[in-house]
Amino acid sequence: MRVVAICALAASFALAGCTQSGSSSSKGFSGEKAKVADKIGDLSKAGTAKKAADVCDDIVTSDLRDKMAAGNRSCAQEMKDAMDDADAFDLKVDAVTITGAKATATVKTKDRGKDVTRTFQLTKQGSGWRVASFG
């Protein structure tokens, strides 16, 4: 499961390309939907800044963090490797659907110069949202 989570993250960060900008768009969203979009923006910013520990500590669920860690490697170590392999961190939120404490975000990015759409799953924890899967 760890490999799947890391591969999905790397794919969401668009492994091909030459830019290192990070973006997300919560424009057009309000309330809880804006909070979900903002969390995807946090992921994009952390990727751009290569802040692997921030992703593990502040962005993903504890369950996903545990799945990404394996053996004697931490989530942050695995995340750093995924970030080092990525060239672009542009994530644009197109749609957000919320059902109770679960949310789905449709996110556009680029992969090898082509538009790619991914579906991220988020879970509400406390007053905020956390990424439960990278799609």
pLDDT per residue over 74-129, tens digit each?
Answer: 999 999 988 888 777 889 999 999 999 999 999 998 777 788 999 999 999 988 99
Residues near 127 by beta carbon (within 8 Å), at least 6 away in sequence: none
Mean pLDDT within 50-69: 92
Residue pair 38/93 in contact by the 8 Å Cβ criterion = no
Query: Is residue 51 helix, strand or coil?
Result: coil
CATH of the domain at 77: 3.10.450.50
pTM above 0.85, yes or no: no
Give the structural domain span for 40. Answer: 2-133
Please tell me what DSSP assigns to residue 73: B
The answer to whether 44 and 53 have CB atoms below 8 angstroms apart is: no
- Tally of domains in the chain: 1
